Structure 1
Amino acid sequence: MTFEIEERITSYPIGHIRAEGMITPETPRRLEALLKAQTDLPITSISLSSRGGNLAAALEVGRLLRRYRIVSSVSIDKACLSACAYAFLGGVARAFETGYGDEPEEAQKRLGFHGFTLEMQIPGALEGRNAAAFVGAVTQGSQVTAGGLADYVAAMDANVEIIGRAAPHGRNQYLYLPVSELKKLGILTDYEKNLGEFKLVPDGGNVQAAFIHDDHQFTIGCSQFGGRLQPVLVFTNTFGKSPGAPITPISPPLKLSRILGSTYRPWTSNDIAYKRFHAHSWITGTAWNPVFGYFHMTVGDSDPTTVALTSQNSAFFHDPPMFHAVIVLPPAEVAVLLREKESYVSLGEQPYPESGWSHVLRTEARDREALAYALRSCVK
């Protein structure tokens, strides 16, 4: 499979990949290398055009798309068939490209599924380390295994019914479902419903998970803190040059290396005495004076756990027009982020939301894979 990157302009430049050709065992490795190399042009979408190939590799391509929060599509004049159709399911949102203002055709031949047997795999597919993956991820005759393929489809938020419906279709006999059916099965999705909040941001040899909303960004990843690699949460906010002045939206996502390379602002003796970090001592001319005192973690509607910020677990940086709060995530809070379907993170001035100001981030189940990948080097 070949990859071509094109730049698209929204509020800031983003990258789109056009992927064409057979999916081979080398395809996932090449795709991941490409994604990691795009540090200046974030990749947000991919269009797939392929008649299939190695099924195990296709599933790994799909997992990469999900891990990097990439939207998958099929162009108007292209087709994604066989193993490619399963790679397509990895998109965090999935759609058919159309003309401006148009709806995709109900009867379609862009996305085609069929069953898989061991004999249908390309030569060498069952050799070496790929054998176990294929045995657990094929349909044999009309019998669907309970292993890899069904688990993959379910993990991608699609209905596993597609496997059974495709099973009777052999080589070059594709199941082309109408668009309405594809939507019912969760194969074509609503963009906003499935996109989630976090995206992976390559940063040299590291990767962080970042979420931007207008003038602020939350970043979660691994960083050296206190002489060792630890999980950290970074809150970034922009501010106007004077009261009432327009704020500066953040785009594209800030990398942790840039944040940590900005001006470090140490805790003062006054901050330590009052157990609060007073950012207003160096943010001048703003309409509000941020004070950081506490980190909160809430699961659903449960009572929040509260962690007091100190010079031992937090650091602050200044990069006009932005400031950054870097906070070490306690192990219990990391476990919540990676385990629970929904959690809330709050940074505030006081231990209770009704006292002073706070800023809240909500994470959902669809964010967990991105967060786990971003924390993989410092959380076992």
Structure 2
Amino acid sequence: MQFQAGQTDWGLHYITASGDFAYQDDLSAFENLVRSSSATAVTFSSPGGNIQKAMELGRLIRRLGINTIQFRAVECASACSLAFLGGVIRYADPGSIGVHKSSFQGNVPLTTQEAVSAVQQITADVMTYMIEMGVDPALLQLSLQYDSNDIRYLSMSEMVKYRVVTFAPEAGHDQVA
């Protein structure tokens, strides 16, 4: 994961987080860049990656009081959708947030019992995180309907329904509960 500071024409300082989420990512670089740039928002260009690292970044975004903004022109899918949920205020274009069920990576042999245990733990972690971020955990149920090699991009009405966004002017909502 790489982080780059930017500024809009109207003066909004933001960070772009790009690349895959990896277990070894050092998120102190993100925190230092937020502080040095006075960024108030983060946007993503990521196909996903490590779920735990994405939730760690989401919690850091929340702790720093940063907002998340996602435009359809760039990708925020899979684990990236979890990092997006960390925003204090969250705005996303329709079709800009993609979800699906996760998969195991690597060549680590697991017994059936170990695999079941790992799936249960990750599911519990994701549900807890969603609740912590104010998102309806029913979003996880929708995600689990799509295989890990497929992506389901959310409509604006779905993002409002599951509280993925907190700001949705085109849906007739200036603020979503």
Q: TM-score range by the shorter chain?
A: 0.7 to 0.9
DSSP-derived class of the 2:40 partner: strand
Q: Give the aligned partner of residue 378 of structure 1.
A: none
Q: CA deviation at 1:88?
A: 0.8
Mapping 1:75-154, distance limit 5 Å: 75-96=71-92, 104-105=93-94, 108=95, 110-116=96-102, 120-123=103-106, 136-138=121-123, 147-154=124-131
Q: Give the aligned partner of residue 133 of structure 2.
A: 156
d(CA) in 1 for partners of 2:72, 2:152:
18
Q: Is the 8 A contact 1:54 1:125 kept in 2?
A: no
Q: Deviations over 1:139-163 (max 9, x none)?
A: xxxxxxxx21101001100100000
Query: Structure 1 residues 77, 37: closer, same or farther in 2, change over 3 A?
Result: closer
Q: CA deviation at 1:49?
A: 1.4
Query: Structure 1 residues 124, 135: closer, same or farther in 2, change over 3 A?
Result: farther
Q: Any unmatched runs of 5+ in structure 2?
A: 110-116, 169-173
- Is residue 2:72 matched to residue 1:72? no
Q: Is the 8 A contact 1:5 1:15 kept in 2?
A: yes
Structure number having the greater strand percentage:
1
Q: Any unmatched runs of 5+ in structure 1?
A: 97-103, 127-131, 139-146, 195-380
Mapping 1:1-380, distance limit 5 Å: 1-8=1-8, 15-27=13-25, 29=26, 31-36=27-32, 38-96=34-92, 104-105=93-94, 108=95, 110-116=96-102, 120-123=103-106, 136-138=121-123, 147-190=124-167
Q: Give the aligned partner of residue 236 of structure 1.
A: none
Q: CA deviation at 1:75?
A: 2.4
Indicate the RMSD between aligned Cα atoms, in angstroms. 2.9
Q: Is the 8 A contact 1:5 1:16 kept in 2?
A: yes
Q: CA deviation at 1:91?
A: 0.9
Q: CA deviation at 1:77?
A: 1.0
Q: Is the 8 A contact 2:3 2:18 kept in 1?
A: yes
TM-score relative to the length of structure 2: 0.80
TM-score relative to the length of structure 1: 0.39
Query: Structure 1 residues 160, 17: closer, same or farther in 2, change over 3 A?
Result: same
Q: CA deviation at 1:175?
A: 2.1
Identity of paired residues, percent? 27
Question: Which has more radius of gyration?
Answer: 1
Q: Is the 8 A contact 1:56 1:134 kept in 2?
A: no
Q: Deviations over 1:189-236 (max 9, x none)?
A: 128858xxxxxxxxxxxxxxxxxxxxxxxxxxxxxxxxxxxxxxxxxx
Q: Is the 8 A contact 2:3 2:29 kept in 1?
A: no
